[in-house]
Amino acid sequence: MIDSTIDDEHWMRLALKQAERAFQVGEVPVGAVIVQHNRVIACSYNQPIATCDPTAHAEVLALRQAAKVVNNYRLVDCELYVTVEPCLMCLGAVVHARIQRLVFGACEPRAGAVVSQLQLEYMTFINHKKLQVKQGVLSGSCSDLMVRFFQSRR
């Protein structure tokens, strides 16, 4: 089995660049990148404030872009890299898009729906192919960015 740690860190660094963009424009710094067959097909960052859209989370925006790129609402053979554990809304979108693998950096203890508040593995009502999950990739960098953002708001 090939160790994907190096690739995971590479893609997460791209997601962190997206999160930095969010930080710079005053949005909560979450970034997302979607990779298919080792090629970036979409990337985005949180934009609910700028767009006046509560669904404009980084993951949802990246899913929308990727669906246009592949011309299909099902994103098979795709991996989503996101700097922070997805919320329930984003996790639902990820599952319905049929993302194969979710990789996230920092846990979100208050609203995380993958391992923190809700545990994906116990959501037996999800009848789609199991979503592979890897957590903690560059978690320190992802967490530090969130801490810096919220400290700057105080």
Q: pTM score, two decimals?
A: 0.93
Is 59 catalytic? The answer is yes
Q: How far apart are CA 47 and CA 38, in angstroms?
A: 26
Residue 2 has pLDDT above 50, yes or no: no
Q: Which residues contact 95 (CB under 8 A, 6 or more apart)?
A: 126, 128, 131
Q: Active-site residue among 59, 79, 85, 108?
A: 59
What is the structure's pLDDT at 141? 98
Q: Give the tens place of pLDDT for each residue, 11-64.
A: 999 999 999 999 999 999 999 999 999 999 999 999 999 999 999 999 999 999
Q: Say if residue 38 is exposed, middle or buried (CB neighbours under 10 Å; 0-12, 13-18, 19+).
A: exposed
Q: Give the tens place of pLDDT for each residue, 84-141.
A: 999 999 999 999 999 999 999 999 999 999 999 887 776 777 766 678 999 999 999 9
What is the structure's pLDDT at 154? 77
